[in-house]
Amino acid sequence: MDDIKAWHTRIELRSGWYAVALSSDLKDKPLRVMFDGQAYVLWRDGGRIGSKIGALADICPHRGAPLSLGRIQDGGVVCPYHGWRFERDGRCSHMPALASPAPAFIAPVQAAEGDGFVFLGRHAADLPLPIAPLVPGGTSVIMTGQVATTLGDFAENILDTTHTSVVHGGYLRGTDGRQPVTPTVVTGLDWIEAHYPPAATPDGFMGRFMGQGGYHITDRFRAPNITEVEYRQNGRLVFGTRFHLTPTEAGQIRAFGTMALAGQSWLTRAKISMLQVLFQRIIAEDRMILNAVSANRAAFGRTPHYIAPQDVLRAGIDALLRGDSPAVPARMPDMLV
């Protein structure tokens, strides 16, 4: 019973940068985004892509109007009700009905931009933005989607090899005959990763699409909210995905993903466009099962959380989300993937 209660308790988010919007969705109008149960207004002080981003709680301290329904003027965001204007530092710089504004203030939130995403900082201070190139010199595309789930369940889903042939049929892994493999798990202070040797390379569509030869696959979770999957061939990084998982409203996680292939030729661009279509399909299938899991838990009022031997990353992901360091499982299972 205690376990069940613990899993229903909201986990305090760890410090870090959380993706909250696509850069391309923030242009000449204020934008309302949800982050960890609260609404924020984002805007660009120059009203165009590339200018500096302001981020404040999306509620005017006067009567509570959502600033996101207002407009951008002289670098600030103007409330849609009585027209008070707020600067990026949270100060009210203009009240239309007063010759000089009375003191009014909204605590500003750290905002930054990179890799095609807008990030909000949670006690992020000097932490670097998590935007290192996925495949250096490669070609990348971005994608986003929201699912009714938890951060831990979403991260596990993306990194889990044991659901793929069940949920995704032959897209990622073949359905005809699984391969025996013993993964290796490695941990650091704030990350955990599983390595699958080339013998276990998927023989599904993905394996064929990527070309001949085995891949060394790495599945990694990095605190506070990042999943990374890497395919290496003869030690060379050839394909990778990274998802920033952001709690938005209660019980909802929005994923902001990047997918990259080595190379920059027209063939690489064509391949990645096809992969993008494939991934939209895969994400839709994951969304369906994760939504069903959430609805079922709500109906039963309980959250089964049995960590089986083949769930090699789950205990580590849970530890990282609690703010602890992960441990390598005591014994590695003989898996069939």
Site residues, Fe ion (CB under 5 A): 286
CB of 61 to ligand FES, least distance (A): 8
Minimum distance, C-beta of residue 59 to ligand FES, in the bound complex (Å):
9
Which of ligand FES, Fe ion, none does residue 236 bind (CB under 5 to 8 Å by kind)? none
> How far apart are the C-alpha atoms of 299 and 295, rounded to whole Å?
6
> Got the DSSP string for 269-329?
HHHHHHHHHHHHHHHHHHHHHHHHHHHHHHHHT-------TT-TTHHHHHHHHHTPPP---
Among 4, 39, 65, 127, binds ligand FES (CB under 6 A): 65
Task: Give the residue with the Cβ less far from Fe ion, 153 or 286.
Answer: 286
Q: Is residue 105 within the footprint of ligand FES (CB under 6 A)?
A: no
CB of 36 to ligand FES, least distance (A): 24
Write down the least CB distance from residue 74 to ligand FES, Å: 16
Residue 60 or 120: the one with the smaller Cβ distance to ligand FES is 60
Nearer to ligand FES, 79 or 135 (CB): 79
Q: Which does 286 bind (CB under 5 to 8 A by kind): ligand FES, Fe ion, none?
A: Fe ion
| Separation of alpha carbons 6 and 214, rounded Å | 41
Residues 6+ apart with CB under 8 A from 264: 137, 138, 139
- Residue 186 has which token pair? 């490695």
Q: Which does 84 bind (CB under 5 to 8 A by kind): ligand FES, Fe ion, none?
A: ligand FES
Using alpha carbons, select from 223, 240, 66 the residue that is nearest to residue 137.
240
Q: Which of 228, 249, 222 is nearest to 321 (CA)?
A: 222
Site string for ligand FES, 73-102 (x = CB under 6 A): ------x-xx-x------------------
Partner that binds at residue 205, options Fe ion, ligand FES, none, CB closer than 5 to 8 Å by kind: none
Pairing assessment for the beta strands 71-73 and 76-78 based on DSSP bridges: antiparallel
CA distance 66 to 62: 11
Q: Which of 8, 48, 52, 63 binds ligand FES (CB under 6 A)?
A: 63
Candidate list 32, 62, 94, 163; residue touching ligand FES; CB under 6 A: 62
How far is the C-alpha of 221 from the C-alpha of 159, rounded, in Å? 8
CB atoms within 10 A of CB 118: 24
Cβ proximity to Fe ion: between 33 and 312 the closer is 312
Give contact residues for ligand FES (rule: CB under 6 A).
Answer: 60, 62-63, 65, 79, 81-82, 84
